[in-house]
């Protein structure tokens, strides 16, 4: 009987350790997504780039690479932030699953009608404490 008690206890400890590790990863993932969102809304390019890895890859979902690298991201977003003083992004819903964060977003301050709400869906993948990939899902044209 003792023979089975030790493995059972071991499995419980391993399961708990795995759960605790998942929670930590989810906390980190959530924090990085939130950090970049807050800097985005301030249109602060330096703060915005902090959570991203130097080799960040940005895709149109599922796998169309749009660009790669933090310096390329800096060039693209710096101008965008300058041209959109009324830019604001609000997270409508956020799902965190391990190292992946999925944000449904509502954006205003873009285009000719700055009050028009535009929806976006962003999928962030976190690796080694940084956002390593972003996939933007486009709505099908109707």
Instruction: Please state, in angstroms and rounded to a whole number, the distance separating the CA atoms of residues 114 and 28.
Output: 33
Burial group, residue 51, by CB count within 10 angstroms (0-12, 13-18, 19+):
buried
Q: Is residue 21 part of a domain?
A: yes
Residue 109 · residue 84 · CB < 8 Å: yes
Q: Is residue 119 part of a domain?
A: yes
Q: Is residue 95 part of a domain?
A: yes
Name residue, tokens 């939130």: 34
Domain that holds residue 24: 2-137
* CATH code of the domain in which 26 resides: 3.10.450.50
**Total domains, the chain:** 1
For 114-136, what is each residue's pLDDT tens digit?
899 999 999 999 999 999 999 99
For 51-108, what is each residue's pLDDT tens digit?
999 999 999 999 999 999 999 999 999 999 999 999 999 999 999 999 999 999 999 9
User: What pTM, to 2 d.p., does this model score?
Assistant: 0.82
């Amino acid at each position: 009987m003792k023979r089975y008690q030790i493995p059972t206890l071991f499995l419980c400890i391993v399961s708990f350790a795995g759960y605790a590790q998942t929670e930590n990863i989810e906390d980190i993932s959530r924090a990085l997504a939130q950090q970049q969102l807050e800097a985005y809304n301030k249109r602060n390019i330096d703060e915005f780039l902090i959570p991203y890895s130097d080799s960040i890859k940005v895709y149109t979902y599922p796998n169309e690479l749009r660009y790669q690298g933090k310096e390329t991201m800096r060039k693209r977003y710096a101008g965008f932030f300058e041209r959109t003083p009324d830019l604001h992004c609000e997270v409508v819903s956020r799902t965190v699953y391990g190292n992946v964060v999925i944000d449904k977003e509502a954006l205003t301050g873009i285009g000719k009608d700055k009050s028009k709400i535009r929806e976006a869906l962003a999928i962030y993948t976190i690796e080694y404490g940084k956002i390593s990939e972003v996939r933007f899902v486009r709505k099908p044209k109707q």
